[in-house]
Structure 1
Amino acid sequence: MKHIPLLLALALASVAAQAQTPTAKPAAPAASAAAPVSAAKKALIDKILHLQQPAIEALARQLAEQPAVQMLQRAGAALQRLPVEQREAVAKEIQSDARKYADEATPIVRDRAIKLAPSTIGTVLAQNFNEDELKQIIAILESPVNRKFQSLGGEMQRSLGERLVAETRASVEPKVQALEQSVIRRINAASAPASAPAAASAAKK
């Protein structure tokens, strides 16, 4: 995500500052925390949410795709138990199913995330920032330097990722293969006792 870490860091910093500030007076009644937000403050919050929308959509996409990613990881180990000649065809079918799921689920989660943003992120902003602070956040998000930095995020991650994979592949791949083989052995060992009685029973008939 691009802007959300910055926004949450600012929010957490504000909360921490409030928590560390000594309070001589008793806490205000809970009702005051839910005081109405002025139209000017709401407009500032709405603008921040608009600037945050790409990051909100990215979070929604990540959450929507997470179950499919986890299933694909489990399927990868299960595929190793299939005959070699069947693996590629089954893998393609599973990947197709996963893409279909993502295409259907992502818009649902994305649209809901956008609708929930005002009552979640917006509420955090309203409770922890005054109008001047919200204006500062907008200035940061709209800064040409920040926009340039964010636009290069994908390139920087890709550059690091490619170099990282290239320089760690030789060390990591054997460990991945060892883990995969260990998982397969454990699954096969666990399933063997269950299948043995059935095989013995069939042999007696």
Structure 2
Amino acid sequence: MIRILIAEDQAMVRGALATLLDLEDDFEVIASVGNGLEAVERAKVLLPDVALLDIEMPKMSGLEVVEKLRSAVPSCRCVLVTTFARPGYMQRAIKAGARGYLLKDAQVEELAAAIRRIVAGDRVMSPELMMAAMECTNPLTDRESEVLRLAAQGMTTRELARTLCLSEGTVRNYLSETMSKLSTNSRQEAIKTAESQGWI
């Protein structure tokens, strides 16, 4: 029996997924939660075989949940299910250790088959998302992405420098480089562009 935890903030979608997957003879939905933090907490206790995760959830994103569970519950295979065909999300999901990345508009039979393949040791990615990811690579380094991600939270240059243990001049250089790489004229434009691609 494949034991599944579902984390999805939309109650109707969460309920439908749980109902449909429970109909499979070899599946058991052992938990269904509405935010990322609860997903991590329940997974630590219940030790599911598979965690089916939405990307954008309250308290903790699906990508953050994947990173947490990789060390907290290494036996759990994480599968991201999303409506967002943003190439950067897939790249970050693979880097975080996700075993699957699928679009929500897939048929339940496709999802069930993907879960079985993932439990058997495969990695399953949506072909549409694979094509988008190959066509659009993130030009930012890990450090530039980190600086921009924190800037998107409203941090000033001084706060960024203190948080990252860098000088304010170095932070300004990173921000200037991100604006140049993304062909934008301001920090806010750079943040907007990077967010639209799923790079931060």
Instruction: Give 1 or 2: higher strand fraction.
Output: 2
TM-score bracket relative to the smaller structure: under 0.3
Identify, as 1 or 2, the structure richer in helix.
1
Structure number with greater Rg is 1
More relative contact order, 1 or 2 (CA 8 Å, 6+ apart): 1
TM-score by length of 1: 0.22
Q: TM-score if structure 2 supplies the norm length?
A: 0.23
